[in-house]
Amino acid sequence: MLREINFDGIVGPSHNYAGLSFGNVASMGHAGEVSEPRAAALQGVDKMRANLALGLAQGVFLPPQRPHRGWLGRLGTTIEQAEPALAANAMSASAMWAANAATVSPAPDTSDRKCHLTPANLRTMPHRSHEWRSTLGQLLIAFRDGAHFQVHAPVPHAFGDEGAANHMRLAAAHGESGLEIFVYGISGGGFPARQHVEASKAVARLHLLDPERTVFAQQSEEAIAAGAFHNDVVAVANERVLFAHEQAFADKQPLLDMAQAKVPGFEYVEVAAADVPLADAVKSYLFNAQLVTPPDGEMTLIVPAEVKATESVWRWIERHVAGNGPIRRVEVVDVRQSMANGGGPACLRLRVVADPATIDPRFLVDEAKLDRIADVIRRTWPEQIAHDELQSPALIAEIESARAALLNALGLAELIQG
Ligand code: SUG
Protein backbone atom coordinates (compact mmCIF):
# COMPACT_ATOMS: atom_id res chain seq x y z
CA MET A 1 0.00 0.00 0.00
CA LEU A 2 1.23 3.51 -0.82
CA ARG A 3 1.96 5.69 2.21
CA GLU A 4 3.92 8.80 2.93
CA ILE A 5 7.28 7.98 4.47
CA ASN A 6 9.42 10.73 5.97
CA PHE A 7 13.15 10.11 5.53
CA ASP A 8 15.12 12.19 8.02
CA GLY A 9 18.78 13.00 7.57
CA ILE A 10 20.63 11.80 10.67
CA VAL A 11 22.64 14.77 11.93
CA GLY A 12 26.27 13.96 11.20
CA PRO A 13 29.06 14.06 13.81
CA SER A 14 30.69 17.11 12.14
CA HIS A 15 27.68 19.43 12.73
CA ASN A 16 29.10 22.92 13.23
CA TYR A 17 28.38 26.62 12.84
CA ALA A 18 30.64 27.95 10.10
CA GLY A 19 28.16 30.49 8.73
CA LEU A 20 28.40 29.05 5.24
CA SER A 21 24.95 29.92 3.92
CA PHE A 22 24.63 33.49 2.64
CA GLY A 23 20.93 34.42 2.58
CA ASN A 24 20.09 32.01 5.42
CA VAL A 25 19.69 34.39 8.36
CA ALA A 26 20.06 31.71 11.04
CA SER A 27 23.30 30.33 9.57
CA MET A 28 24.70 33.84 9.19
CA GLY A 29 23.57 34.85 12.71
CA HIS A 30 25.08 31.83 14.48
CA ALA A 31 28.39 31.80 12.62
CA GLY A 32 31.33 31.03 14.90
CA GLU A 33 29.29 29.59 17.78
CA VAL A 34 30.16 26.30 19.45
CA SER A 35 27.94 23.48 18.11
CA GLU A 36 26.69 20.38 19.92
CA PRO A 37 26.65 17.49 17.42
CA ARG A 38 25.56 14.87 19.94
CA ALA A 39 22.61 16.92 21.19
CA ALA A 40 21.75 17.87 17.59
CA ALA A 41 21.60 14.25 16.44
CA LEU A 42 19.59 13.18 19.50
CA GLN A 43 17.11 16.00 18.88
CA GLY A 44 16.68 14.59 15.38
CA VAL A 45 16.11 11.08 16.74
CA ASP A 46 13.50 12.40 19.18
CA LYS A 47 11.69 14.12 16.33
CA MET A 48 11.56 10.78 14.51
CA ARG A 49 10.24 9.10 17.66
CA ALA A 50 7.45 11.69 17.81
CA ASN A 51 6.56 10.92 14.18
CA LEU A 52 6.43 7.20 14.93
CA ALA A 53 4.24 7.88 17.96
CA LEU A 54 1.76 9.61 15.65
CA GLY A 55 1.62 6.42 13.59
CA LEU A 56 3.65 7.76 10.64
CA ALA A 57 6.15 5.73 8.62
CA GLN A 58 9.75 6.81 9.09
CA GLY A 59 13.04 6.34 7.26
CA VAL A 60 16.57 7.71 7.50
CA PHE A 61 19.46 8.83 5.34
CA LEU A 62 22.99 8.44 6.63
CA PRO A 63 25.53 11.24 7.06
CA PRO A 64 28.05 11.41 4.19
CA GLN A 65 31.81 11.15 4.70
CA ARG A 66 33.12 14.28 6.43
CA PRO A 67 35.62 15.71 5.90
CA HIS A 68 34.87 15.05 2.26
CA ARG A 69 38.39 13.98 1.37
CA GLY A 70 37.59 13.15 -2.26
CA TRP A 71 36.18 16.65 -2.86
CA LEU A 72 39.24 18.30 -1.33
CA GLY A 73 41.41 16.00 -3.46
CA ARG A 74 39.70 17.28 -6.60
CA LEU A 75 40.59 20.76 -5.39
CA GLY A 76 44.22 19.70 -5.07
CA THR A 77 44.37 19.80 -1.29
CA THR A 78 43.74 17.85 1.91
CA ILE A 79 41.85 18.55 5.14
CA GLU A 80 45.18 19.12 6.88
CA GLN A 81 46.43 21.64 4.32
CA ALA A 82 43.27 23.38 3.08
CA GLU A 83 42.62 27.02 3.87
CA PRO A 84 40.17 27.21 6.79
CA ALA A 85 37.25 28.41 4.64
CA LEU A 86 37.69 25.52 2.22
CA ALA A 87 38.10 23.04 5.08
CA ALA A 88 34.79 24.23 6.57
CA ASN A 89 33.09 23.56 3.24
CA ALA A 90 34.38 19.97 3.37
CA MET A 91 33.27 19.49 6.99
CA SER A 92 29.65 20.66 6.86
CA ALA A 93 26.94 18.31 8.09
CA SER A 94 24.43 20.01 5.80
CA ALA A 95 23.23 16.71 4.30
CA MET A 96 21.06 16.45 7.45
CA TRP A 97 18.56 18.72 5.64
CA ALA A 98 17.06 15.92 3.61
CA ALA A 99 14.39 18.18 2.09
CA ASN A 100 17.26 19.27 -0.13
CA ALA A 101 18.40 15.75 -0.93
CA ALA A 102 16.11 15.17 -3.91
CA THR A 103 12.81 15.89 -5.62
CA VAL A 104 10.34 13.03 -5.46
CA SER A 105 7.37 12.39 -7.74
CA PRO A 106 5.27 9.50 -6.48
CA ALA A 107 4.02 6.80 -8.85
CA PRO A 108 0.41 8.07 -9.18
CA ASP A 109 1.75 11.29 -10.79
CA THR A 110 4.07 9.81 -13.40
CA SER A 111 3.22 8.34 -16.81
CA ASP A 112 5.21 5.13 -16.23
CA ARG A 113 3.67 4.73 -12.75
CA LYS A 114 7.07 4.54 -11.06
CA CYS A 115 8.17 6.82 -8.24
CA HIS A 116 10.88 9.12 -9.67
CA LEU A 117 13.68 10.64 -7.58
CA THR A 118 16.25 13.22 -8.71
CA PRO A 119 19.03 14.24 -6.30
CA ALA A 120 19.46 18.00 -5.99
CA ASN A 121 22.70 19.46 -7.35
CA LEU A 122 22.70 22.20 -4.64
CA ARG A 123 25.20 24.10 -6.73
CA THR A 124 24.55 27.56 -5.18
CA MET A 125 26.55 26.90 -1.99
CA PRO A 126 30.00 25.24 -2.17
CA HIS A 127 29.47 23.25 1.05
CA ARG A 128 26.25 21.75 -0.34
CA SER A 129 27.36 21.29 -3.95
CA HIS A 130 29.21 18.07 -3.12
CA GLU A 131 26.36 16.36 -1.25
CA TRP A 132 24.76 14.85 -4.34
CA ARG A 133 27.20 11.97 -4.83
CA SER A 134 26.45 10.50 -1.44
CA THR A 135 22.75 11.19 -1.85
CA LEU A 136 22.67 9.48 -5.22
CA GLY A 137 24.56 6.50 -3.78
CA GLN A 138 22.02 6.11 -0.98
CA LEU A 139 19.00 6.56 -3.27
CA LEU A 140 20.36 3.91 -5.64
CA ILE A 141 20.51 1.45 -2.75
CA ALA A 142 17.33 2.37 -0.86
CA PHE A 143 15.17 2.60 -4.00
CA ARG A 144 16.90 0.02 -6.18
CA ASP A 145 13.64 -1.85 -6.93
CA GLY A 146 13.42 -0.91 -10.60
CA ALA A 147 9.82 -2.06 -10.92
CA HIS A 148 8.75 0.70 -8.55
CA PHE A 149 11.43 3.41 -8.64
CA GLN A 150 13.46 5.40 -11.14
CA VAL A 151 16.46 7.24 -9.69
CA HIS A 152 17.95 9.94 -11.95
CA ALA A 153 21.27 11.76 -11.96
CA PRO A 154 21.18 15.39 -10.76
CA VAL A 155 20.25 18.12 -13.24
CA PRO A 156 23.41 19.56 -14.90
CA HIS A 157 25.10 22.10 -12.65
CA ALA A 158 24.45 25.03 -14.97
CA PHE A 159 21.02 25.23 -13.31
CA GLY A 160 20.52 25.35 -9.56
CA ASP A 161 18.31 22.66 -8.05
CA GLU A 162 17.55 22.50 -4.32
CA GLY A 163 15.22 19.52 -4.33
CA ALA A 164 11.99 19.05 -2.43
CA ALA A 165 12.43 22.30 -0.47
CA ASN A 166 11.04 24.01 -3.57
CA HIS A 167 8.53 21.37 -4.51
CA MET A 168 5.05 20.68 -3.14
CA ARG A 169 2.37 18.18 -3.97
CA LEU A 170 -1.37 18.47 -3.55
CA ALA A 171 -3.64 15.44 -3.85
CA ALA A 172 -6.98 14.31 -2.46
CA ALA A 173 -4.97 11.61 -0.65
CA HIS A 174 -1.27 10.64 -0.79
CA GLY A 175 -1.93 7.57 -2.95
CA GLU A 176 -3.96 9.46 -5.57
CA SER A 177 -2.76 11.37 -8.56
CA GLY A 178 -1.67 14.85 -7.52
CA LEU A 179 -0.77 18.34 -8.64
CA GLU A 180 2.98 18.95 -8.45
CA ILE A 181 4.10 22.50 -7.72
CA PHE A 182 7.66 23.64 -8.47
CA VAL A 183 8.62 26.94 -6.88
CA TYR A 184 11.59 28.78 -8.40
CA GLY A 185 13.31 32.07 -7.67
CA ILE A 186 14.49 34.77 -10.04
CA SER A 187 15.69 37.46 -7.71
CA GLY A 188 16.06 37.64 -3.97
CA GLY A 189 17.06 41.25 -3.46
CA GLY A 190 20.55 41.03 -1.97
CA PHE A 191 20.35 37.26 -1.47
CA PRO A 192 20.71 34.51 -4.08
CA ALA A 193 17.67 32.76 -5.56
CA ARG A 194 18.77 29.14 -5.39
CA GLN A 195 16.16 27.28 -7.45
CA HIS A 196 16.24 27.92 -11.19
CA VAL A 197 13.14 27.42 -13.31
CA GLU A 198 15.19 25.51 -15.89
CA ALA A 199 16.07 22.93 -13.24
CA SER A 200 12.45 22.64 -12.11
CA LYS A 201 11.28 22.11 -15.69
CA ALA A 202 13.98 19.50 -16.27
CA VAL A 203 12.93 17.55 -13.18
CA ALA A 204 9.28 17.68 -14.24
CA ARG A 205 10.21 16.32 -17.70
CA LEU A 206 12.50 13.61 -16.31
CA HIS A 207 9.79 12.53 -13.88
CA LEU A 208 7.29 12.10 -16.74
CA LEU A 209 4.75 14.38 -15.12
CA ASP A 210 1.52 15.36 -16.82
CA PRO A 211 1.88 19.03 -17.90
CA GLU A 212 -1.80 19.48 -17.08
CA ARG A 213 -1.06 18.63 -13.47
CA THR A 214 2.21 20.52 -13.05
CA VAL A 215 2.63 24.15 -11.98
CA PHE A 216 5.69 26.37 -11.95
CA ALA A 217 5.29 29.24 -9.52
CA GLN A 218 7.73 32.03 -8.80
CA GLN A 219 8.77 32.63 -5.21
CA SER A 220 8.35 36.28 -4.26
CA GLU A 221 11.47 38.39 -4.23
CA GLU A 222 10.52 39.83 -0.84
CA ALA A 223 10.35 36.33 0.70
CA ILE A 224 13.88 35.48 -0.45
CA ALA A 225 15.12 38.91 0.67
CA ALA A 226 13.56 38.28 4.11
CA GLY A 227 15.58 35.05 4.47
CA ALA A 228 13.25 32.48 2.87
CA PHE A 229 16.07 30.97 0.81
CA HIS A 230 13.82 27.97 0.10
CA ASN A 231 10.07 27.96 -0.51
CA ASP A 232 9.57 25.58 2.43
CA VAL A 233 10.35 28.48 4.77
CA VAL A 234 7.12 30.21 3.66
CA ALA A 235 4.81 27.41 2.46
CA VAL A 236 4.00 23.74 3.03
CA ALA A 237 1.43 21.39 1.49
CA ASN A 238 -0.16 18.15 2.60
CA GLU A 239 -2.81 16.22 0.70
CA ARG A 240 -5.55 18.74 -0.20
CA VAL A 241 -4.20 21.60 1.95
CA LEU A 242 -1.78 24.38 1.01
CA PHE A 243 -0.57 26.42 3.99
CA ALA A 244 1.37 29.53 3.01
CA HIS A 245 2.29 33.05 3.95
CA GLU A 246 0.55 35.84 2.07
CA GLN A 247 3.89 36.96 0.62
CA ALA A 248 5.23 33.52 -0.37
CA PHE A 249 4.60 33.75 -4.12
CA ALA A 250 5.15 36.44 -6.74
CA ASP A 251 1.65 35.75 -8.14
CA LYS A 252 -0.40 33.19 -6.27
CA GLN A 253 -3.60 33.34 -8.32
CA PRO A 254 -2.69 30.98 -11.22
CA LEU A 255 -1.44 28.44 -8.68
CA LEU A 256 -4.63 28.63 -6.62
CA ASP A 257 -6.82 28.41 -9.74
CA MET A 258 -5.00 25.30 -10.91
CA ALA A 259 -5.25 23.70 -7.45
CA GLN A 260 -8.95 24.51 -7.32
CA ALA A 261 -9.48 22.89 -10.72
CA LYS A 262 -7.36 19.77 -10.17
CA VAL A 263 -7.46 18.87 -6.47
CA PRO A 264 -10.77 17.64 -5.06
CA GLY A 265 -11.50 19.44 -1.77
CA PHE A 266 -8.57 21.83 -2.18
CA GLU A 267 -8.20 24.20 0.74
CA TYR A 268 -5.86 27.20 0.95
CA VAL A 269 -4.84 28.38 4.40
CA GLU A 270 -3.14 31.73 4.14
CA VAL A 271 -1.41 33.58 6.94
CA ALA A 272 -1.81 37.32 6.42
CA ALA A 273 1.22 39.58 6.78
CA ALA A 274 -0.91 41.77 9.05
CA ASP A 275 -1.16 38.85 11.52
CA VAL A 276 2.32 37.37 11.09
CA PRO A 277 4.94 39.58 9.44
CA LEU A 278 7.31 37.80 7.07
CA ALA A 279 10.17 38.38 9.53
CA ASP A 280 8.30 36.46 12.28
CA ALA A 281 7.48 33.63 9.87
CA VAL A 282 11.18 33.32 8.95
CA LYS A 283 12.41 33.66 12.55
CA SER A 284 9.97 31.07 13.94
CA TYR A 285 9.93 28.70 10.92
CA LEU A 286 6.14 28.40 11.19
CA PHE A 287 5.95 27.04 7.64
CA ASN A 288 8.99 24.81 7.95
CA ALA A 289 6.70 22.49 9.80
CA GLN A 290 5.79 18.95 8.87
CA LEU A 291 2.15 18.99 7.87
CA VAL A 292 1.05 15.38 8.11
CA THR A 293 -2.01 13.16 8.21
CA PRO A 294 -1.61 10.48 10.91
CA PRO A 295 -3.80 7.35 10.76
CA ASP A 296 -6.43 9.02 12.98
CA GLY A 297 -7.02 11.52 10.16
CA GLU A 298 -6.37 14.63 12.29
CA MET A 299 -4.13 16.82 10.14
CA THR A 300 -1.16 17.73 12.34
CA LEU A 301 1.42 20.49 12.12
CA ILE A 302 4.78 19.54 13.65
CA VAL A 303 6.44 22.84 14.51
CA PRO A 304 9.78 23.82 16.05
CA ALA A 305 9.80 25.21 19.61
CA GLU A 306 10.63 28.64 18.16
CA VAL A 307 7.00 28.84 16.93
CA LYS A 308 5.74 28.82 20.49
CA ALA A 309 8.25 31.49 21.45
CA THR A 310 7.12 33.89 18.70
CA GLU A 311 4.02 35.71 19.95
CA SER A 312 2.32 36.63 16.66
CA VAL A 313 2.84 33.11 15.33
CA TRP A 314 1.58 31.23 18.39
CA ARG A 315 -1.48 33.51 18.55
CA TRP A 316 -2.25 32.63 14.91
CA ILE A 317 -1.89 28.90 15.63
CA GLU A 318 -4.14 29.00 18.67
CA ARG A 319 -6.81 30.86 16.71
CA HIS A 320 -6.63 28.43 13.79
CA VAL A 321 -6.83 25.29 15.89
CA ALA A 322 -9.72 26.72 17.96
CA GLY A 323 -11.61 27.50 14.73
CA ASN A 324 -12.71 25.27 11.91
CA GLY A 325 -9.48 25.19 9.91
CA PRO A 326 -8.06 21.98 8.43
CA ILE A 327 -5.05 21.86 10.80
CA ARG A 328 -6.48 20.08 13.82
CA ARG A 329 -3.44 19.46 16.00
CA VAL A 330 -0.04 21.03 16.67
CA GLU A 331 2.99 19.12 17.97
CA VAL A 332 6.04 21.03 19.18
CA VAL A 333 9.52 19.54 18.69
CA ASP A 334 12.95 20.74 19.82
CA VAL A 335 15.41 20.84 16.92
CA ARG A 336 17.30 23.91 18.16
CA GLN A 337 20.74 22.78 17.03
CA SER A 338 19.51 22.40 13.45
CA MET A 339 17.39 25.56 13.62
CA ALA A 340 20.49 27.61 14.42
CA ASN A 341 21.72 26.69 10.94
CA GLY A 342 18.34 27.42 9.34
CA GLY A 343 16.94 23.88 9.33
CA GLY A 344 13.50 23.26 10.84
CA PRO A 345 11.47 20.04 11.14
CA ALA A 346 10.53 20.09 7.44
CA CYS A 347 14.12 20.68 6.28
CA LEU A 348 15.22 17.56 8.11
CA ARG A 349 12.98 15.23 6.13
CA LEU A 350 12.34 14.06 2.57
CA ARG A 351 8.84 12.84 1.84
CA VAL A 352 8.43 9.74 -0.31
CA VAL A 353 5.04 8.26 -1.13
CA ALA A 354 5.65 4.56 -1.75
CA ASP A 355 4.96 1.09 -0.45
CA PRO A 356 7.46 0.55 2.41
CA ALA A 357 7.79 -3.11 1.33
CA THR A 358 9.52 -1.94 -1.90
CA ILE A 359 12.28 -0.01 -0.04
CA ASP A 360 15.55 -1.42 1.35
CA PRO A 361 14.58 -2.03 5.01
CA ARG A 362 17.97 -0.78 6.25
CA PHE A 363 16.72 2.75 5.55
CA LEU A 364 13.45 2.30 7.49
CA VAL A 365 13.24 2.69 11.25
CA ASP A 366 11.09 1.66 14.17
CA GLU A 367 11.49 2.42 17.89
CA ALA A 368 14.02 -0.35 18.44
CA LYS A 369 16.23 0.79 15.57
CA LEU A 370 16.06 4.39 16.80
CA ASP A 371 17.24 3.12 20.20
CA ARG A 372 20.25 1.55 18.47
CA ILE A 373 20.97 4.72 16.52
CA ALA A 374 20.68 6.86 19.66
CA ASP A 375 23.02 4.52 21.49
CA VAL A 376 25.74 4.91 18.83
CA ILE A 377 25.27 8.69 18.86
CA ARG A 378 25.53 8.87 22.65
CA ARG A 379 28.70 6.80 22.63
CA THR A 380 30.54 8.28 19.64
CA TRP A 381 29.30 11.72 18.47
CA PRO A 382 31.45 14.68 19.62
CA GLU A 383 29.82 16.69 22.35
CA GLN A 384 30.95 20.07 21.07
CA ILE A 385 32.77 21.57 18.08
CA ALA A 386 34.31 25.03 18.16
CA HIS A 387 34.68 26.76 14.83
CA ASP A 388 38.49 26.93 15.08
CA GLU A 389 38.98 23.17 15.64
CA LEU A 390 37.55 22.00 12.33
CA GLN A 391 41.01 20.89 11.17
CA SER A 392 42.05 19.26 14.44
CA PRO A 393 43.34 15.72 13.71
CA ALA A 394 41.83 14.35 16.93
CA LEU A 395 38.40 15.76 16.08
CA ILE A 396 38.56 14.44 12.53
CA ALA A 397 39.47 10.95 13.76
CA GLU A 398 36.55 11.07 16.22
CA ILE A 399 34.12 12.14 13.49
CA GLU A 400 35.24 9.45 11.07
CA SER A 401 35.04 6.66 13.61
CA ALA A 402 31.62 7.85 14.85
CA ARG A 403 30.19 7.67 11.35
CA ALA A 404 31.74 4.24 10.76
CA ALA A 405 30.16 2.98 14.00
CA LEU A 406 26.73 4.10 12.82
CA LEU A 407 27.08 2.58 9.35
CA ASN A 408 28.19 -0.71 10.90
CA ALA A 409 25.31 -0.70 13.37
CA LEU A 410 22.83 -0.32 10.49
CA GLY A 411 24.48 -2.89 8.21
CA LEU A 412 25.42 -0.13 5.74
CA ALA A 413 29.22 -0.32 5.85
CA GLU A 414 29.18 -0.25 2.02
CA LEU A 415 28.50 3.52 2.27
CA ILE A 416 31.82 4.19 4.03
CA GLN A 417 33.47 5.91 1.05
CA GLY A 418 30.33 7.88 0.16
O1 SUG B 1 21.13 25.22 2.75
N2 SUG B 1 22.00 25.49 6.13
C3 SUG B 1 21.12 24.97 5.12
C4 SUG B 1 19.72 24.91 5.66
C5 SUG B 1 18.83 24.15 4.74
C6 SUG B 1 17.41 24.23 5.14
N7 SUG B 1 16.64 23.45 4.28
C8 SUG B 1 15.40 23.75 3.87
N9 SUG B 1 14.87 24.92 4.04
N10 SUG B 1 14.75 22.84 3.25
C11 SUG B 1 21.17 25.80 3.85
O12 SUG B 1 21.23 27.03 3.94
C13 SUG B 1 24.14 26.04 7.09
C14 SUG B 1 25.55 25.55 7.11
C15 SUG B 1 26.52 26.43 7.83
O16 SUG B 1 26.28 27.63 7.90
O17 SUG B 1 27.50 25.89 8.30
C18 SUG B 1 23.33 25.44 6.00
O19 SUG B 1 23.86 24.89 5.05
Q: Give the Å distance between the CA of 330 and the centre of ligand 1.
A: 24
Radius of gyration of the chain (CA): 20
- In CATH terms, 3-415 corresponds, of 3.75.10.20, 1.10.10.10, 2.70.98.10, 3.40.50.720, to 3.75.10.20
Q: What local confidence, expressed as pLDDT, does residue 188 receive?
A: 85
Q: What local confidence, expressed as pLDDT, does residue 134 receive?
A: 98
Give yes or no for a contact between 203 and 150, defined as CB atoms under 8 angstroms apart: no
Is any atom of ligand 1 closer than 6 Å to the C-beta of 23? no
**DSSP type of residue 245:** E
Of 230, 239, 320, 398, which one is the catalytic site residue? 230
Of 167, 196, 347, 398, which one is the catalytic site residue? 347
162 annotated active-site? yes
230 annotated active-site? yes
Question: Among 53, 164, 187, which residue's Cα sits nearest to residue 101?
Answer: 164
Atom of ligand 1 nearest to the CA of 342: 4
Give yes or no for a contact between 255 and 202, defined as CB atoms under 8 angstroms apart: no
Of 162, 180, 331, 398, which one is the catalytic site residue? 162
Q: What local confidence, expressed as pLDDT, does residue 165 receive?
A: 98
Q: Give the Å distance between the CA of 139 and the centre of ligand 1.
A: 21
Number of H helices and E strands in the chain, helices first, is: 15, 15
347 annotated active-site? yes
Domain map (residue ranges) of the chain: 3-415
Q: Give the Å distance between the CA of 298 and the centre of ligand 1.
A: 30
Residue nearest to atom 6 of ligand 1 (CA): 343
Look at strands 300-304 and 290-292 and give their pairing: antiparallel
Range 256-263 contact pairs with CB under 8 angstroms and sequence separation of 24 or more:
258/179, 258/215, 259/170, 259/179, 259/181, 259/215, 262/170, 262/179, 262/212, 262/213, 263/170, 263/171, 263/172, 263/178, 263/179
Indicate the residue type of 202: A
- What whole-number distance in Å separates Cα of residue 233 and Cα of residue 183? 12
Contacts of residue 376, defined as CB under 8 A and 6 or more positions apart, other chains included, come to 402, 405, 406, 409
Indicate the residue type of 289: A
Is any atom of ligand 1 closer than 6 Å to the C-beta of 341? yes
Residue nearest to atom 7 of ligand 1 (CA): 347
User: Which segments of the chain have a pLDDT < 70?
Assistant: none
Q: Give the Å distance between the CA of 211 and the centre of ligand 1.
A: 31
Atom of ligand 1 nearest to the CA of 162: 10
Is any atom of ligand 1 closer than 6 Å to the C-beta of 21? yes
Q: What is the pTM of this model?
A: 0.98
Give yes or no for a contact between 235 and 244, defined as CB atoms under 8 angstroms apart: yes
Q: Give the Å distance between the CA of 38 and the centre of ligand 1.
A: 18
